[in-house]
Amino acid sequence: MRNELKFTKGKKMKITSIDKDIKQLFSSGFYKIPRFQRPYSWDRDNLDEFWNDVNDNDGGDYFLGSMVVYKNDNESFNLVDGQQRLTTITILLCAIRNRFFELGEDNLAKGIHTVVEKPDIIHKQQYVIQTETSHPYFQLYIQNYEKPDHSPKIRTEEKKLNEAFIFFKEKLKDLESPNKPKEVQSLTNLRIKLLSLSLVYIELDSEEDAYVIFETLNTRGKDLAASDLIKNLYTKLIKNANKNLDIVKEKWAIIYENIQSISNTTHPDQFMLHFWLSQGKYINLKNLYKNYKLRIKPSNAKNELDNLVNNSKYYRDILSPQKYKDSKLKRKVLLKLKIFKNGRVDSIQVLNTAIEQEFIDSALTIVSRTTFSPGVYKNKNVNCYHTIPINFSMDEDED
C-alpha cells in the first residue's frame, strides 16, 4: 500500500507501508543503523516485556510495532526507527543459535545463522543488522559464532548488549531438559514464534524525509530523550567532507563517554539542560530540544558541537572531582537564582549538588555579596531567574 503525506511548504513525501513478519524482513535486505541513532539502551524491563511478547505469540501474528527505513542502495536500507527492537531480535536469534550448537544441532544452528548473516549480490557475506556505534563488539561477540580474534573497547553500549545477551541465555536455561529432543523442540518453537512476529514496515525515498519522520515520531512520544533529538539535529546540519569521516558520531561518542563516566545514572539530558542553564537562559527539559533547534544553524553547528564536547569534560570534572587529575583544583558551581524586580535575591538553588560542600558554601557567600539586576520586560522591572556558573581554580598546596 503506497500513501502520500503532505508536509510543510507543500512538499510531498512518498511513504510505502506494508505488513511484514521478521522472517520476511530479515530476508529482504540489509539494515544499517545510521549515525543519528542512539546507542543500544534496552534495560531489564524492556527485555522482560519483549521476552513475554515473543512467548505470547501463539497465533503467529503478534504485532510488534513499526519500523521506518530509507533506501541506501538496491539491497540495503538505513534504519530510522525500530533499531532497538531489531538489535534485540538479533541478540535472541544468536542466543538460540549458540544453544543449538551446544546441543550438537549444527544444522539448526547454521539455519538460524543464515537469518543473521547472508551473502549480498556479489556473494560477500554481510550481517543483516549492521551497527556503527557498537562496531566491532556486536559483530564479534554476538552475531559471530566463532571465537573472537581480538578484544574491542567496552563502553556503555557494549555493556548493554552483553547484558541483553546474558539475559536471553539465562531465559533459555528455563527450556533446558534432560530430554534433548524436548529441549530442541522448545527452542525450535521459540524460533518460529520470534520469526513470525509482525510489524508495519515503512519505507521512505530519501534521507531528508527520514530526518523529518525521525523527529516527528520521537518528539511526540517518549522513545527518545532530548539529547537524542539534539544529536539528530547536529547530524542533519553538519555535512561530512569525507564519507569515511563522521564528525558528529565521533564527537558525540566523546560527550556520551564523558557523561557516562560520572555514573551509570547520569543522563546526557541532564548535562545539556545544565549547560543551557549555565548560560543564563532558564528553560525546562521539556523545551530543551525546541530551544536548541532555534539556536543551532548550519553556520554555527560545528562551533556549538565543539563547545558541547569541551563543556562535557568540565561537567564530568565538576561532578566527579575525585577523578580529576589536573595539578590545580578546579570546580564549577551552578546556581539558579530567583531575582525580585527590586533586585533582591529571593531564592537560590544549587544545580550540581554532587560537589564538595565547601565550594557550595563559597559560591553562596559570593552570591550574597553580589548585586543583581532584575529582569526587564516592556521597559518594566519584573521577577526573573538567573543561572550563573561560579568557577574555582586553585592549587591545593598553596597557603
How does pLDDT run along the chain (399 residues), one tens digit per residue? Answer: 444 444 444 456 677 878 899 999 999 999 998 766 778 989 999 999 899 889 877 765 677 778 888 888 878 999 888 889 999 999 999 999 999 999 999 999 999 999 999 999 999 999 999 988 888 899 999 999 988 877 777 888 899 999 999 999 999 999 999 999 999 999 999 999 999 998 888 888 877 777 677 666 655 444 567 888 788 788 878 887 766 567 888 888 899 888 888 877 778 888 888 888 877 677 888 788 888 888 899 899 999 999 999 888 888 877 776 655 544 556 777 777 777 767 677 777 777 666 677 777 777 777 766 677 777 777 777 777 767 777 766 555 444
Judge contact between 364 and 348, C-beta under 8 A: yes
- Domain spans of the chain, in order of start: 2-219, 225-323, 326-399
The C-alpha cell 522513545 sits at 223
The CA–CA distances, whole Å, from 363 to 257, 356, 375 equal 28, 11, 22
Distance CA 198, CA 138 (A): 24
Distance CA 140, CA 149 (A): 8
Judge contact between 248 and 315, C-beta under 8 A: no
Distance CA 211, CA 232 (A): 8
CATH class of the region 326-399: alpha beta
CB burial of residue 93 (10 Å; 0-12, 13-18, 19+): buried
Q: Which of 104, 93, 94, 88 is nearest to 184 (CA)?
A: 104
- Dump the DSSP string for 174-220: TT--SSHHHHHHHHHHHHHHHHT-EEEEEEES-HHHHHHHHHHHHHS
Q: Which residues contact 6 (CB under 8 A, 6 or more apart)?
A: 12, 13
